[in-house]
Amino acid sequence: MIVAELKPFEEIKNMLRDYKKVLVLGCGTCVTVCMSGGERQVELLASALKMAGKLTGNELTTGEKTILRQCDPEFIDQIKDEVSQYDAILSLACGAGVQGIAERLGDTPVLPAMNTTFIGLSDGQGTWVEVCAACGNCILNETGGICPMARCAKSLINGPCGGSKGGMCEVSKDNPCAWQQIYARLSKLNKLHCLKEKSESKTKPVHPRRMVREDLRLEKEPTKGVK
């Protein structure tokens, strides 16, 4: 899932200084799972903003709403009619969600309440770890399901650097060496031969990237670009 965290409260207040009526909009998927942008967080943030406004004499009227996905036009259209009531939308979604709302509802300013951090997995209650760099050239079949691009501090794809000690990364002593984890996983799977297969060199993808599934597109529907 995409992991994000709420921006510092003072930064959010500063973004809203020129607005009087704001829709605090949550996203019901990734950021809800990582407990940073769901319905409960919308309620808490809206309440804190109203309280701060009263204390400073700059009262803010807020609306509260959470849709299932801010990156999907189908769900964005659910709030089209009510958005006109507000001066701005404060989005508690990842960067894709913020841009999805801004693209679809272009007449209303959309402000990010979150900092998008990485694609990750839960590593225990209240903890998430980055596991995918979304590089567009997946080699997890060669590395036992462990991504060296995201989990190796140096993003090495053809083996370890040799600097780890006691199974921990030399760059950050708090992180295990990804390549030692890969070796252990492949050994357990009886697939150590994968380490002898040199992966192709990775290059940074050209941005922005696009994916088109012709089998899912509507007939004669033109391919659209972000404006």
The domain that holds 55 is classified in CATH as 3.40.50.2300
Q: Which of 85, 138, 94 is nearest to 112 (CA)?
A: 94
Regarding whether 146 and 65 lie in a shared domain, the answer is no
Whether pLDDT at 66 is above 60: yes
Q: What residues make up the domain containing 14?
A: 2-118
Regarding whether 106 and 16 lie in a shared domain, the answer is yes
Regarding whether 90 and 158 lie in a shared domain, the answer is no
173 vs 64, residue with greater confidence: 64
Regarding whether 65 and 164 lie in a shared domain, the answer is no
Q: How far apart are CA 177 and CA 182, in angstroms?
A: 9
Does a structural domain hold residue 227?
A: no
Does a structural domain hold residue 170?
A: yes
Q: How many domains does the chain have?
A: 2
> Which segments of the chain does DSSP mark as H helices, in order?
9-15, 30-33, 39-56, 73-76, 80-83, 95-104, 148-151, 178-188
Q: How far apart are CA 85 and CA 108, in angstroms?
A: 10
**Residue that has been written with the tokens 């192709």 in this structure:** 200
Q: How far apart are CA 55 and CA 59, in angstroms?
A: 8
> What pLDDT digit, counting tens, does each position of 12-46 carry?
999 999 999 999 999 999 999 989 999 999 999 99
What's the whole-model pTM score? 0.81
pLDDT at 188: 95
DSSP at 224: P
Averaged pLDDT score across all residues of the chain: 90
